[in-house]
Structure 1
């Protein structure tokens, strides 16, 4: 079956927002007088913003509200998002997106991020013209590793699952693609830590490895 559609995850594949979230959290902590250590911050991995704010407020006896803390964090994150000179697309991904687009491959964004964050990324890096659709997992009933988001993305591309490929960098995303029975390329970068890639059909370290001509042993690139 020929490759007809690529379903992109966003965070960790197109951009890496974790450094921005870290900077935003620490600026927020400082503004409320909370001296959070790197070790304490590491314990928040995977926790929702509300939970982080609650924990810090309780731990340091802060005289504020969770809502105030969350608002400061969101505002700082937005300022960093548009103003931090170090924040950019992951190396090589724009070239890969352009390559697929030039070769008539349909592109769908299937991310767990909020629609607001997705739209911010697409606006900042001018990606809308390459993608025929965007799906936010935050709007769905089930989240990764449930396969719903990739099944919907394949439907949006109007292609059978066998003609699609998912690009993912996380354990949950790879498992979601596996459960959707869609070919999955696991992208493993220097920033990737503690993720499980055993269920990915292929694992790559450079987006050059996902050019159409290099996928010929997995997909028949001619209809």
Structure 2
């Protein structure tokens, strides 16, 4: 069955990256546990969870409005915090031997490619991180490219990144299927008018994914059929 016969009229796929394409969230979690206290910011797990899916700019804007950093960092601009954070994420990913594609996701890539669906990545991460993942896992074989947090004004849960991704794909948002794993991501994708699949492999209770059209725990053939046929 080709894409024209899809019951949902889906013509293109928009993938989130972290926690959907790759298992990067545990790596980021370890980085965050170290980097925030370094600046004198001590967050609860719930506070860290609330930032999931948002860009570093939005995260740091919220944090700097709420917390006072250590005196030695008082001269830092928000760009300085972001630059250090991006570097820490990059190093964490590059040094991780456990960084892998999510189980089954490559088979979905192959299916969508074989059946003529255009694909793009919409990530809240910054270009050095997205580009590293894009190259490391040879994603250009499947995707037309990516949009990242520097290409938009308002990050998730605003719809901006999905609207931009749909425009890059040359399809209407309603013709695009978004695959997300965060509450902020699901909200943003729905606000854009896209169909949304919530990938919740770990059954994470910190993320309210009820707004998604369907919630799945694995990239299986059965779930693929639930979405498209």
TM-score of the alignment, normalized to the shorter chain, above 0.5: yes
Contact 2:90 2:129 in 1 (8 A): no
Who is 1:138 aligned against? 150
Structure 1: 5+ residue stretches without partners: 218-223
User: 1:162, 1:183 within 8 Å by CA — same for their partners in 2?
Assistant: yes
For the 8 Å contact 2:11–2:117, the answer to whether it is kept is yes
Cα 1:18–1:149 change in 2 (3 A) is same
1:197 to 198, 209, 212: 209
Would the aligned equivalents of 1:184 and 1:201 in 2 still touch at CA under 8 Å? Answer: yes
Note the C-alpha offset of 1:210.
Answer: 4.1
Aligned residue number for residue 188 of structure 1: 200
The aligned counterpart of 1:221 is none
Match of 1:11 among 18, 39, 61: 18
Distance 1:4 1:123 in 2: 25
Residues in 2 aligned to 1:157 and 1:63: alpha-carbon distance in whole angstroms? 42
- The answer as to 2:188 corresponding to 1:179 is no
Provide the residue aligned with 1:126 in structure 2. 138
Aligned to 1:21: 28
- RMSD value, Cα: 3.3
What is the rounded CA distance, in whole Å, between the counterparts of 2:127 and 2:136 in structure 1? 14
Are residue 162 (structure 1) and residue 174 (structure 2) matched?
Answer: yes
Contact 1:57–1:66 under 8 Å retained in 2:
no
User: Does the 8 Å CA contact 1:50/1:66 hold for their aligned counterparts?
Assistant: no
Query: How high is the TM-score relative to the length of structure 2?
Result: 0.74
Segments of 5+ residues of structure 2 without an aligned counterpart are 1-7, 52-58
1:2 to 2, 5, 9: 9
1:106-140 deviations in Å (ceiling 9; x for gaps): 00111111122111111111111210131113331
Residues 20-57 of structure 1 deviation map (CA, whole Å, 9 limit, x = unaligned): 23434566699x7x9x9xx86637613539959xx796
Alpha-carbon spacing, 1:193–1:123, altered in 2? closer, same or farther (3 Å) = farther
SS at match of 1:184: strand
Conserved? CA contact 2:198–2:215, under 8 Å:
yes
TM-score normalised according to structure 1 size? 0.75
Q: 1:164 to 1:210 in 2, by over 3 A?
A: farther
Contact 1:5–1:157 (CA under 8 A) maintained in structure 2: yes
Partner of 1:220: none
Contact 1:161 1:182 (8 Å CA) reproduced: yes
**Segment of structure 1 superposing worse, 177-186 or 76-85:** 76-85
Structure with bigger gyration radius: 1
